Amino acid sequence: KQEVTQIPAALSVPEGENLVLNCSFTDSAIYNLQWFRQDPGKGLTSLLLIQSSQREQTSGRLNASLDKSSGRSTLYIAASQPGDSATYLCAVSPTGGFKTIFGAGTRLFVKA
Amino acid sequence: DTAVSQTPKYLVTQMGNDKSIKCEQNLGHDTMYWYKQDSKKFLKIMFSYNNKELIINETVPNRFSPKSPDKAHLNLHINSLELGDSAVYFCASSHSPGHGGELFFGEGSRLTVL
């Protein structure tokens, strides 16, 4: 049974700092891994999608990596800004399946 | 031009009532989902439909009945509401695995049962 863990559960950093959010999963038979952002009271916004054959994806100040064999992904945020404050969720989709499993999220607070 | 839209956004109702939440996507996806986010913010899949066929039904009480009239719509009807049903319900859609599979979410429907 796939389990997704995100560490840390919460993180507070000063503006401008580079930071790394971690995601680990127990079953490496995944189709893709997706990182989302959720603002309070809002829906989930897709940030990056990494297919199982890829090692990383980049979008602006965000870079996500995937190491399928070790069951790990990281989301790197460069030069953090107060507007980055949100909960970041990692989700893995199984090979050939529709059941995407979510981690519990990392709540990020960037101080001005 | 919202990609995945759900209505209503907020729903406050009494225990024992029946309510429905509607979802529509204009992305041309063939797969739609209902997720439940509890008070601890944990997201858990409830149902998934692919081409109008139910393919995932996760240990959900049979008071919850999804219906997909076509590929662009997935509704959720809940009978005999209980206090524990209070949560945020998210609709999502994607292409089938093998065709991308990126998930897109609606804004959520916050259900409060009194």
pLDDT digits (tens, 9 = 90+) for A80-102: 999 999 999 999 998 877 789 99
DSSP B96: P
pLDDT in tens, B26-58: 999 999 999 999 988 889 999 999 888 898 888
Which of A45, A102, A106, A107 is the best residue to mutate to test the B interface, defined by the most B CB atoms within 10 Å of its own CB? A102
Cβ contacts of B28 within 8 Å, gap of 6 or more: none
> How many angstroms separate the CA atoms of B11 and B7, rounded?
9
Mean per-residue pLDDT over chain B, rounded? 92
**What is the mean pLDDT of the segment spanning A65-91?**
97
| β-pair type (B109-113, B104-105) | unpaired
Quick check: A44 and B105 CB within 8 A?
yes
Query: CA B102 to CA A67: how far, in whole Å?
Result: 19
Tell me whether residues A104 and B55 touch, CB distance under 8 A.
Answer: no
Which residues is B18 bridged to in the sheet? none
Indicate if the pLDDT at residue B98 is higher than 90.
no
A59 CB within 8 Å of a chain B CB: no
pLDDT score at B1: 66
- Tell me whether the omega of the peptide bond preceding residue B69 falls within 30 degrees of 0, making it cis: no
Provide the shortest C-alpha distance from residue B82 to chain A (in Å): 22
B42: contact with A, CB 8 A cutoff: yes
For tokens 């980049």, name the residue: A58
Q: Note whether B21 and B7 are within 8 A (CB).
A: yes
For residue B99, pLDDT over 70 is answered with no
Confidence (pLDDT) at B57? 87
